[in-house]
Structure 1
Amino acid sequence: MRRRGLLLLAAALPGCSVLPNRPYREVERFVLAPARPSGPPPPRTGRVLLLRTMRAAPGLDQRGLRILGPRGEVTVSFWSEWTAPPVDLAEEALRRWLLASGRFRAVTAPGSRLRADVILEAELTRLQAEPGEGIARAGLSGLLLDNGSTENRVLGQFPVEGTAPLPGGVQSPDSLAPADAAAGMSAALGVALGRLESAVGAALGRR
């Protein structure tokens, strides 16, 4: 009898569940690929630039969109994320940006057999939406080295920042649409990339 009772109980269990009946929510993914402003590039030089692997400030190796709250806290979204870690996307964006600038014959990666004239080390220091201010903010830092010297002489250090307005202006974090946050951050990164390019170009002009 005991065995029969256990079998009946087991048969009844599939009909009961303690798990909440929640609808499936798909993760939204966004591309971080700022568009370079159109315009004639400067004359291309024969220099080759080596862009080393970009470093990330704490938290910027996570895919989730970062939203600044009203008390200065940063929330990382679970349901809205970049297609890859933002530091990886920012590195690729910087590589394309510098190559399209016309300032270099080539922009190489570590492991390339092409000898570089200059080396750029970069770090992604900030990438977040700030709905309380109605803006998105991106930060980069760069260190330019002369690869022709035995000690890799420092040609310049460049902390740069870019901001862009968020669609909808000032709003609460709960009101900010993920697509608007991603678009604002991508535009802010584009501003930062432009400023980093200008700083690198100025340092090379003084070389």
Structure 2
Amino acid sequence: MTSTLVAAGAMVGVTGAAAAPMAPGLGGIIGAGIGQPVTDFTAGRYIVTLADEAVATYTGGVDGFAATTPGAGARLDPQSRASETYSDYLGDKQKAVAASVDAVIDYSYTLALNAFAAELTARQAAKLSAEKDVVAITPDELKHVTATSSTDFMGLSGDDGVWAKTGGAETAGGGRRHRRARHRSGAGEPLLRRRPARHDAWRGSVPRW
């Protein structure tokens, strides 16, 4: 099943960190260390988000790890020593959380989001929801983009649409005005004509002394 998160960087397996942005409504099922597990889970693939800040937003505070968030106007350097060491720290914590329920991490996100993707049983997901380091457990679902047809939106199609009243979609855009526009744009004279300089008009020879 394809992730609902759109990766902000390369997505790799457990052996390397990957980046994914925070998706709207990510906290579909919240753990947040509530102390009591949520029970309405089904077996499936989940995105498990942890509490620590991701590399892109980490401003410091964890002993031994310098801040990694870039300054104003600067870009994140994921290959800097600070970024790599803090990313490893996040990865290790993700592995520990997954191991607490005998789950196997499929993908690890550390740059834009501190989370991992894994196949979980209902019991594993419920247990993770009570972990103090877990802030959200979201089903990893395939989402389809939906849109309204522009021809419908503009009132062109349909029995009462503009096309039906003007002869049908097959002849839409025809007519003298359309042909004239094509002539002016495709076969007319250039808008600007360069006036020849004096040396452009000279066709004689330069005398030799």
The structure with the largest alpha-carbon Rg is: 2
What's the TM-score once normalised by structure 1's chain length?
Answer: 0.25
Q: Which has the higher strand share?
A: 1
What's the TM-score once normalised by structure 2's chain length?
Answer: 0.25
